Amino acid sequence: DAKDSTRYMAALGQGGTGLPDRDYYLKDDARSKDIRTKYEQHVAKMFQLAGDAPALATVRAKVVLDLETRMAQAQWTRVEQRNPQKTYNKRSLDQLAGEAPGFDWKGYFKARGVKPADLNLSQPSYFQAFAKLASEVPATQWRTYLRWHALNATANLLPKAFGEEAFAFHGKVL
C-alpha cells in the first residue's frame, strides 16, 4: 500500500495493448500510422503462422487492432500516470464491482485464488471503460484478442518462425 508501508495491497493498472503506449494507437502523424499498419500486418502474419488462412488472419488482425485501440482510448496519458495522488485509488472488491459493472471482477479474483481485502485502481476510469467493453464486445472477438496475446507472449517458445516474426516487429519496427 503506497500510503501504508506496513501493508500489502493488490494493484490494478491499465494495459491490454500490444503496442508500448496509448499514443501509438491515437496519434495521427505519419510515423504512428505506419507503425499501426505494420503492427496489423505483424498480427496477421502471426495468425498465419498459427495456421489461419491469409484472409482470416487479416480479419482477425483488424479485430485485435480495433479492440486494442478502444482500450487505448480509455487509457491515461503518461503525464496523468505520473501523479501519485491521482493514481492512488483504494477500493474494496465490492466497490470495484459497483463502479465497473460488466466484468465479473469477483469471479476473476476467485478463479485465481485471490481474496483482496483492498486494491488500488491506478486508473479507475480505465477499468470502467474496460468493464463496459467486456460486456459489449462479442466473445468471438475476445477469443481472437486473447489468442493473439498468447501467441505474442510465447513467440520465442514456439517454432523459430514465430520468434523471427516477433523480432522483425518488436526488434526492428519499434
pLDDT in tens, the chain (174 residues): 999 999 999 999 999 999 999 999 999 999 999 999 999 999 999 999 999 999 999 999 999 999 999 999 999 999 999 999 999 999 999 999 999 999 999 999 999 999 998 999 999 999 999 999 999 999 999 999 999 999 999 999 999 999 999 999 999 999
Cell numbers at 75, concatenated: 487509457
Backbone angles phi and psi of 118, in degrees to 5: -140, 160
CA separation, residue 63 to residues 6, 138, 163 (Å): 44, 11, 22
Strand partners, 12: 121
pTM confidence score: 0.93
